[in-house]
A and B are shown apart, each in its own frame.
Chain A
Amino acid sequence: MSTETSSAIALTESQSRSLFEKEFVPHLDAMYNFALRLTNDEDDAHDLVQDTCMRAFRFIGSFEPGTYAKAWLFRILKNNFINDYRKKSRGPSKVEFEWVEQSFAGDDDPEPAFQADLKAETVNEMLGDEITTAIQALPVDFRMIIILCDLEEFSYEEMAKILNIPIGTVRSRLHRARAFLKETLASYAEKKGYKTDMLSA
């Protein structure tokens, strides 16, 4: 409690309250969505967003109004997830994450050898649930970067800061994540018989 006290003391009560309403509340839907995609669990997402907001609030006195609060909050959320929630996460996602770190951590890794044979029409025909399942099946590093880029529309530079990786790694990780997603969707489409006639071998 002392940290909260000492840093929030720099602002008056009404200033703190209005900063919270103005800078935090507009991003809560996006933060909750990100937390839910990372944890795959509503209760964990709830706790993760709550912890992130309280952690950010401790430093609200040092927040400069006018700077991009969303990127700042997402960075805290991601750090919080890596430090606290990943430890708690169940076996498979941990293995998944380690596998990604080993296989895709470097910029010098070879390009994905495959390009999934997937057509826009097939994607358009898929149901929302099928897309969500494919996203959830991605290794967490890939899921994270795809959500930050395609859903939240952060720039490469902002993603580099949020994820604490060089901008070159942002580019290569995104490219690999998308190749992985397309491959997952293509094999799913084939199994389900979506436009199989259009999927040439």
Chain B
Amino acid sequence: MKTNCSHQSDCLKLIQRILDKEATAEEESTFLANKDQCLPCKEGHELELALRKALKSSCHSKCPSSLIDSLRLKISSILLLILLLIPLFCWFI
């Protein structure tokens, strides 16, 4: 296995595009077929995967139910206001 990658910066960009689902199927299969022959690429791929996994498991919060309720209430009052305004408007003209 190669311990030195001569195009590490380009490989890292490719790894990121593959994980972002922005690479072509051909680019992806070529990389996956060759990554085990290059240590920096193999480790780079593992690190990018680990980072995404860590982010997904640690950075999530649920919207408080009080906020959802307050949004429903606000929207209901706007709709109610519209329902009241239309007849009022018609009555005036």
Contact with B along A25-39 (1 / 0, CB 8 A): 100110111001100
Q: Pick the contact of A147 from B13, B54, B59, B71 — CB < 8 Å?
A: B59
Contact A150 B56 (CB under 8 A): yes
- By secondary structure, the B interface counts as helix
Total A-B Cβ pairs within 8 A: 123
Residue in B21, B60, B72 whose Cβ sees the most chain A Cβ within 10 Å: B60
Q: How large is the interface on A (under 10, 10 to 19, 20 to 34, 35 or more residues)?
A: 35 or more
- Whether the pair B20, A156 counts as a contact (CB closer than 8 A) is yes
Collect the chain B residues with CB atoms within 8 Å of residue A66's CB.
none
Residue in A1, A28, A155 whose beta carbon sits within 8 Å of that of B67 in the complex: A28
Contact, CB under 8 Å: B43 / A120: yes
As a 0/1 sequence over residues 47 to 71 of chain B, the CB contacts with chain A under 8 angstroms (1 = contact) are: 1111111111111111110011011
Whether A95 is near chain B, meaning CB under 8 Å from some CB there, is no
- As a 0/1 sequence over residues 63 to 87 of chain B, the CB contacts with chain A under 8 angstroms (1 = contact) are 1100110111011101101110110
Q: Give chain A residues whose Cβ lies under 8 Å from the Cβ of B46.
A: 119-120
Contact A50 B70 (CB under 8 A): yes
Tell me the bound Cα distance from A87 to B83 in angstroms. 37
Interface size class of B (residues with CB under 8 A): 35 or more
A120 to B58, CA, bound (A): 16
- The residues of B that contact A119 with a CB separation of less than 8 Å are 43, 46-47
The reply on B22 being an interface residue by CB < 8 A is yes
Asked whether B81 lies within 8 Å of A5 as measured between CB atoms, the reply is yes
- Report how far A28 CA is from B62 CA in the complex, Å: 8
Main secondary structure of the interface of A (DSSP, over half): helix
Minimum CB distance partner of A131 in chain B: B58
A171 CB to nearest chain B CB (Å) = 8
Find B49's partner among A5, A120, A129, A156 (CB 8 Å cutoff). Answer: A120
| B6 in the interface (beta carbon within 8 A) | no
Residues in A neighbouring B37, C-beta threshold 8 A:
none
B60 partner residues in chain A, CB cutoff 8 A? 29, 33, 151
Query: Which among B57, B82, B86 is the interface contact of A128 at CB below 8 angstroms?
Result: B57
CA distance A174 to B82 in the complex (A): 44
Q: List 27 A-B contacts (CB under 8 A).
A: A4-B78, A5-B81, A5-B82, A8-B78, A13-B83, A16-B79, A29-B63, A31-B63, A33-B62, A37-B59, A46-B64, A49-B63, A50-B67, A54-B74, A123-B50, A123-B51, A128-B54, A131-B58, A149-B20, A150-B55, A150-B56, A151-B56, A151-B60, A155-B21, A156-B20, A156-B22, A175-B13
**B interface residues, Cβ below 8 angstroms from A:** 8-9, 12-13, 16, 20-22, 43, 46-64, 67-68, 70-72, 74-76, 78-79, 81-83, 85-86
